[in-house]
């Protein structure tokens, strides 16, 4: 436990000994487990896709629509759910979100045909929308700026653990009880999380009985309690923020690349590259293993760079390098013939891009402050709009041109565009800054 406290929160041991309470570590565990369950539920369908297609007699394009339905609904409801978290608080909103998505995950197993499957996945996406913005909002209230990069890193490490586990777990459940029962089992896990979250969590750490005076002072070191009071959402400033548009465009490129991994990857590994079901399941988890390590490393790295070199280097410099390397690795996977080499390069590509994932979410907290729910909701909306396209691009490329290579060319170009967009973002210009873009983002360091 001491190692976790010192690494994830960045609190020196001397400070940790003085602090009588560490309730925010429990919040971190909730964030980690939420991310695990989210991706376990979300990625399960990629393992079940071949079995669903066979039983329901779906074409490649129809399966692409099914996989895109989730992302479309997720993107449509992301901003409203993120905004609702800012207004009502993440305690109630996250409870509703997890209960909703768990119910429709289980109902996926009751699909009778193409239409009902699309409808169920759409409603599943609508319910899950806002999960990460609201959890990130919770972290922004429970962690000071100096710990937010690592806190987000832990949360997204959980998502990669869930992604890594989902295909082998789903394959095991499918083998034993069939694909329909697999959705019931993984969906039921969220019900337990929702109950525990609602009973334990409080939107304001000052209102939680487990938070002592020393820990509360540490949490609120960057701004006073009065500054944290809710104010009306500055929609005009949001709509006029060049920064926000750039962040959304950058994260669109991230989402476009990501969605291949939890939609078509198992099918690609087994039915295109020729791996067995067991080997394909293990290799399908490899990208998420790489990404999980990258999430923890990237969360630590963006915090260190913020202290030593300033926010621009910590967010934008890291983002550019990570996305550009991801583009090169994705392109390299098209140049090799060996199936194992292709699988490994694709895994490394996701790990490379995920090195900047904490920076992506931390920059939203940098510029969003008290409106972090809306800002992260906007960003994640565009990620999922990118995710709407990915399954369809793959489906049409395979159906019309019989090519699995063309989609990787597109992904490499998209990642490279994201790298360039990173260079234009200013992490120091907040949403309510009327002179956005006038500060030098390369010089200022955080003094903590």
Instruction: Tell me if 121 sits within 8 A of 52, measured CB to CB.
Output: no
Q: What is the pLDDT of residues 32-55, one digit of tens each?
A: 999 999 888 887 888 888 899 999
Q: Is 249 helix (H, G, I), strand (E, B) or coil?
A: helix
- Give CATH for domain 2-220+229-422: 1.20.1250.20
Percent of the chain with pLDDT over 90: 47
Q: Give the CA distances from residue 128 to residues 69, 104, 106, 208, 339, in Å, rounded to whole numbers and listed in that order.
A: 13, 10, 13, 26, 34
* Cα distance between residue 78 and residue 196, in whole Å: 24
Give the DSSP H or E segment for 408.
Answer: helix 406-422
Q: Is 229 helix (H, G, I), strand (E, B) or coil?
A: coil
Q: What is the pLDDT of residues 213-261, one digit of tens each?
A: 888 888 888 764 444 445 677 888 888 899 999 999 999 999 999 999 9
236 is written with which tokens? 């005009």
pLDDT of residue 267: 87
Instruction: Tell me if 29 sits within 8 A of 93, measured CB to CB.
Output: no
Percent of the chain with pLDDT over 70: 90
Instruction: Tell me if 376 sits within 8 A of 137, measured CB to CB.
Output: yes
φ, ψ of residue 249 in degrees (nearest 5)? -65, -40
Confidence of residue 447 (pLDDT cuts 50, 70, 90): very low
405 is written with which tokens? 């290579």
Q: How many residues does the chain have?
A: 448
Mean of the per-residue pLDDT values of the chain: 85
pLDDT of residue 201: 94
Q: Give the CA distances from residue 103 to residues 69, 183, 210, 344, in Å, rounded to whole numbers and listed in that order.
A: 17, 10, 31, 35
Q: Nearest to residue 25, comparing CAs of 250, 186, 210, 181?
A: 210
CB-side neighbour CA atoms (13 Å) of 2: 6
432 is written with which tokens? 């309510």
Higher pLDDT, 136 or 345: 345
* Range of lowest pLDDT (207-211, 344-348, 352-356, 436-440): 436-440
Question: What HEC string does 64-101 produce?
Answer: HHHHHHHHHHHHHHHHHHHHHHHHHCHHHHHHHHHHHH
pTM of the model: 0.76
Q: Is the pLDDT of residue 6 over 70?
A: no
Confidence of residue 435 (pLDDT cuts 50, 70, 90): very low
117 by Cβ neighbours in 10 Å (0-12 / 13-18 / 19+) ranks as buried
Residue-range domain boundaries for the chain: 2-220+229-422
The residues near 434 (Cβ < 8 Å, ≥ 6 apart) are none
* Cα distance between residue 38 and residue 97, in whole Å: 11
* Cα distance between residue 91 and residue 200, in whole Å: 9
Q: How far is CA 303 from the centre of its chain?
A: 18
Q: Nearest to residue 221, comparing CAs of 15, 444, 376?
A: 15
């Amino acid at each position: 436990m001491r190692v976790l406290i010192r690494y994830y929160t960045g609190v020196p041991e001397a400070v940790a000994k003085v602090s009588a309470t560490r309730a925010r570590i429990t919040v971190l565990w909730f964030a980690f487990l939420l991310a695990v369950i989210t991706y376990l539920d979300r990625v399960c369908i990629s393992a079940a896709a071949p079995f669903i297609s066979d039983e329901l007699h779906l074409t490649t394009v129809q399966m692409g629509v099914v996989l895109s339905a989730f992302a479309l609904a997720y993107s449509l409801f992301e901003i409203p759910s993120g905004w609702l978290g800012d207004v009502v608080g993440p305690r109630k909103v996250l409870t509703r979100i997890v209960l909703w998505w768990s119910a429709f995950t289980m109902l996926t197993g009751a699909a009778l045909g193409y239409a009902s499957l699309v409808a169920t996945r759409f409603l599943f996406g609508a319910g899950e929308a806002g999960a990460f913005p609201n959890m990130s909002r919770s972290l922004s209230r429970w962690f000071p700026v100096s710990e937010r990069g690592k806190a987000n890193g832990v949360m997204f490490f959980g998502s990669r653990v869930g992604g890594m586990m989902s295909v082998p777990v789903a394959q095991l459940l499918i083998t034993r009880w069939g694909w329909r029962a697999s959705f019931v089992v993984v969906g039921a896990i969220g019900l337990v999380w929702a109950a525990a979250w609602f009973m334990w969590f409080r939107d304001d750490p000052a209102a939680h009985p487990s938070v002592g005076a020393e820990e509360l002072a540490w949490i609120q070191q960057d701004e006073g309690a009065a500054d944290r009071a809710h104010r009306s959402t500055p929609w005009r400033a949001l709509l006029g923020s060049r920064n926000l548009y750039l962040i959304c465009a950058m994260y669109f490129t991230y989402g476009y690349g990501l969605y291949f991994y939890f939609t078509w990857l198992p099918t690609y590994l087994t039915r295109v590259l020729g791996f067995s079901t067991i080997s394909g399941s293990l290799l399908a988890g490899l990208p998420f293993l790489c990404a999980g390590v990258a999430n923890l490393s990237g969360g630590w790295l963006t915090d260190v760079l913020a202290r030593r070199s300033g926010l621009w280097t910590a967010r934008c410099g890291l983002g550019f390098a990570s996305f550009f390397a991801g583009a090169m690795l994705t392109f390299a996977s098209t140049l090799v013939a060996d199936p194992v080499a292709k699988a490994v390069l694709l895994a490394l590509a996701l790990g490379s891009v995920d090195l900047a994932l904490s920076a992506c979410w931390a920059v939203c907290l940098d510029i969003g402050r008290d409106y972090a729910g809306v800002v992260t909701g906007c960003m994640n909306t565009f990620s999922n709009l990118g995710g709407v396209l990915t399954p369809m691009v793959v489906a049409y490329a395979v159906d019309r041109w019989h090519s699995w290579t063309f989609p990787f060319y597109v992904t490499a170009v998209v990642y490279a565009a994201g790298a360039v967009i990173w260079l234009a973002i200013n992490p120091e210009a907040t949403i309510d800054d009327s002179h956005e873009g006038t500060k030098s983002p390369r010089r200022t360091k955080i003094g903590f």
